[in-house]
Chains A and B, each alone.
Chain A
Amino acid sequence: MRKSFLLAIGCVVCAVQAQDSPQAFVGATLLTMDGPPIANGTLLVDQGRIVAVGSQVAIPATASVHRLDGKVIMPGLVDTHSHIGQVAGADRSAPIQADVRALDSINSRHAGFMKARAGGITTVNVMPGSGHLLSGQTSYLKLRNASSIEQLAIRTESGAMAGGIKMANGTNPLRASPFPGTRGKAAALMRAQLVSAQEYCQRRESDNPPARNLGQDALCEVFIGERIVHHHSHRHDDVLTVLRLADEFNFRVVLHHVSEGALVADAIARAGVAASIIHIDSPGGKLEVMNLLPDNGKVLADAGVLLAYHTDDPITDSRLFLRSAAMGVRFGLDRETALRSVTINGAKMLDLQDRVGSLTVGKDADFIVLSGDPLSLYTRVEQTWVEGEQVFDLNNPEHALFATGGYGAGRDQVASDVLQLEAAQ
């Protein structure tokens, strides 16, 4: 009895684990984000990596073949700014809390993870929440078949869990002391922190190192370019303040939201800074975003700014991430940039462009299978694959519940096949 139970679990494990043999995805149109579309193409995957992409790919005899005629394959989507997993970073005690890590708070069984997979998202920057000058370290995740942060985390070369750091200005961090009360105070507090971090980081290399300070350690990683600053900023003058601080302290920064980006697009482009923006269905909602218009993406891209969209889930729904890019097109953005803005451009903003964001030989086998044009309302994400493993299947009723919603779709859980996989490990 016990033996047969284990056997049954073993079969489930077979279905969801990385295949030992190569897999060929054949017949779909490939939107590689690394060259022109390939009609009737073949994507060959082995050991979690892409090993061949093209229209004339020799399929090894050992490969399992997935026929996908009429479908569209594109890279797994990269969401540069999300709050799935009930993430909570800094608390209300101070405006700057660089020591706080998103990864320590993420509920990896949160329904948002399955919904994100259903939306075709494979890489996500989970950001700690709002209302601080610096609300903590962010977490770059792969939405693998897993339910612990250790398994979901993207690792740096040193094996650490990868992430950036989240900062904000404008009205977002303004509140009663010790938080700043004005924009001038906000910038002064941040500059003072960065100055002290500069000194700390220098002394750390000396013969007389200071006592270890977790927050300053994180800022040292910012100064050497290993930890990118993800900076919430809406109003045009706040955007310019970010550029000024980045220039003064020489840190790498990605602008987030950038609601008035269109007003300072040239300055952003000149600074060589990337913009991760959001599509919102109407103007307003707070004073800072009164001038947000849906042609923001077009204006920024036309100025030469590297552009990505983000969900800011739950502000917009991860399952409708492609809609954001499509709405950009409705309001003037070109299709090619729109597709890049949810794939390779986002990957660049997370320093992950060598691993994800395009269907390129050597990169991780992260891709989605679509029923048609990715920018069409009527297209559905049918399959999501991460590192050669399928993590979402629209034909699986349990997965489909997360894709459409319905009774139970909001409860924190992971799909049963993942739980079974864990039980077997």
Chain B
Amino acid sequence: MITRRNALSGLVGLCLLSSPLQAESMLVLADRLYTKNGPVIESGAVLIQDGKIRQVGRQAEIRPPAGIQTLHAAVVTPGLIDARTVVGLAGYLNQPHDQDQLENSTAMQPQLRALDAFNARERLVDWVRSLGVTTLHTGHGPGALISGQTMLRKSYGAQVDDGLMQPLAMIVAQLGPGAFGAENRSPGTRSKQIAMLRQQLIRAQEYQQKLQDVEEGKAPARDLELEALVAVLDGSVPLLVTAYREQDMRSALRIADEFGIRIVLDGAAEAYLMLDAIKAAGVPVILHPTMARQFGELENASFTTAQQLHQAGIPFAFQSGYEAYVPKTRVVLWEAAIAAAYGLPFEAALAAITIDAAKILGIEQQVGSIAVGKDADLVLFSGDPFEYTTQVRQVIINGQLVSDEPH
């Protein structure tokens, strides 16, 4: 059980965080082991050494060193991946001093880096870690046409560099009324949004051309804004496009087609209206939280959208997203659970917060499943991971026990 003293002060978390990574061995035993790298293993075991997974199999098959630290749980899964969050940038107090997920002086700021704003000691990072989230795709939030960058980081570590996986993961854009400018500032309509976005991508194309054409010593003046968009144009970084309504998602696909860029659809509340088009475009979806409030742009959202994406064969993952009020962060474990209760098969729901999320984020070689050589990120549950009354008992990141209080 959470203890109020510890939960309020975060002392336990910080003690764990401040200890250096050590070469450690650990054995994790599971009545049911969901590896997401093959079938479920009954009476499974995972041997961890030096922060990596060294052996996976039935308990009878594993030969651990004598005296090894051993943990046991009813169910063990890979560490959970939150495929799109703002924790670390949008703090739990929700005061101006801890809200760094959106800078809205201008409509497009792709040069804003997530790592310059990430507060590693933010309580919401502790909170989601205690509920099994080991990898965060976090960064700038919705609310602007282009709000900034995201990064990939483990959910542990006392400073941003600890556990940093990728300093630049995606550039964040949003279409629809949620990204209209305030007080008569552009963009004020959907058409204006698209015109501005296209014009900026064309500028970035021209900048990219200058970079390629440059003779020795004749480089164009460095432009951080356009530089960031060149990374989108050359395909090294996807554009994460938040869009809820069908028309906005279609605009996103149109932009992707025109500029030949990789996009990931974010939100996608009305995706069920255009499954064929999304599938044909080969675009993955990071679906809005299942429990996101169903009004405004999400008035047509459904608890069954995840199931429909799954049935259509569209790659998708769950996210905690951004909340302006309460809960200040959602928890992907609980969002996946509701989808599982509304028709999404159990294994698909678990995949959407582990291996499928890793694939969309391009980190499936490192995390997302329990497989030899991958990071030892594991979650130990008291039972069915999705059941309301099941608890997360322990969380392991890079072979270290980082949460030991049931949640």
Residues of A within 8 A of B (CB): 262, 280-287, 289-291, 293-295, 299, 314-315, 317, 320, 323, 326-327, 329-332, 375-378, 380, 404-411
Contacts and interface: CB of A to CB of B under 8 A. Distances in A.
B297 to A, nearest CB: 10
B293 interface: yes
B323 interface: yes
Contact of A405 (B1, B300, B329, B391): B300
Contacts of A404: 302-304, 342
B1 A331 contact: yes
Contacts of B389: 326, 329-330, 375-376
A320 B330 CA distance: 15
15 contacts: A281-B334, A282-B124, A284-B94, A286-B94, A293-B7, A293-B8, A299-B4, A326-B389, A330-B389, A330-B390, A377-B341, A377-B384, A377-B388, A404-B303, A410-B298
Given A282-B327, A375-B388, A409-B300, A262 B295 contact: no
Nearest to B3: A295
B91 interface: yes
Contacts of B391: 330
A320 B335 CA distance: 12
B224 interface: no
Contacts of B299: 409-411
Contacts of A280: 326-327
B387 interface: yes
B406 to A, nearest CB: 9
Given A281-B327, A284-B93, A331 B8 contact: no
* Residues of B in contact with A, size category: 35 or more
Nearest to A115: B294
A370 to B, nearest CB: 13
Contacts of B325: 285-286, 315
Interface in B321-345: 323, 325-331, 334, 337-338, 340-342
B294 A284 contact: no
B340 A377 contact: yes
Contacts of A329: 388-389
B302 A317 contact: no
Contacts of A299: 4
Nearest to B331: A281
Nearest to A327: B388
B118 interface: no
Contacts of A409: 294, 299-300, 302
Nearest to A380: B341
Nearest to A320: B291
B270 interface: yes
Given A282-B331, A285-B94, A411-B299, 6 more contacts: A281-B334, A293-B2, A330-B391, A377-B341, A378-B341, A410-B295
A283 to B, nearest CB: 6
Contacts, number: 128
Contacts of A317: 291, 293-294
A287 B93 contact: yes
A378 B127 CA distance: 25
Q: Does more than half of chain A's interface fall in helix, strand or loop, or is it mixed?
A: loop
Contacts of B331: 281-282
A326 B388 CA distance: 6
Given A320-B338, A331-B2, A410-B300, A315 B326 contact: yes
A380 B338 CA distance: 11
Contacts of B7: 283, 293
B341 A282 contact: no
B317 interface: no
B301 interface: yes
B95 interface: yes
B123 A284 contact: yes
A289 to B, nearest CB: 7
A299 B7 CA distance: 15
A282 B303 contact: no
Interface string B255-274: 00000000000000010110
A282 B2 contact: no
A386 B205 CA distance: 63
Contacts of B91: 284
B386 interface: yes
Nearest to B335: A281
A81 to B, nearest CB: 14
Interface string B287-323: 0000101110011111110000000000000000001
Contacts of B303: 404-405
User: Which are the 8 A-B pairs with shortest beta-carbon distances?
Assistant: A410-B299, A284-B92, A285-B326, A326-B388, A405-B302, A281-B327, A282-B327, A406-B302
A284 B10 CA distance: 14
B75 to A, nearest CB: 14
Interface in B108-127: 123-124, 127
Contacts of A407: 270, 272-273, 300
A411 B337 CA distance: 26
Given A295-B4, A404-B342, A406-B304, A284 B291 contact: no
Given A317-B294, A377-B387, A406-B300, A262 B4 contact: yes
Central interface residue in A281, A314, A315, by most chain B CB within 10 Å? A281
B262 to A, nearest CB: 29
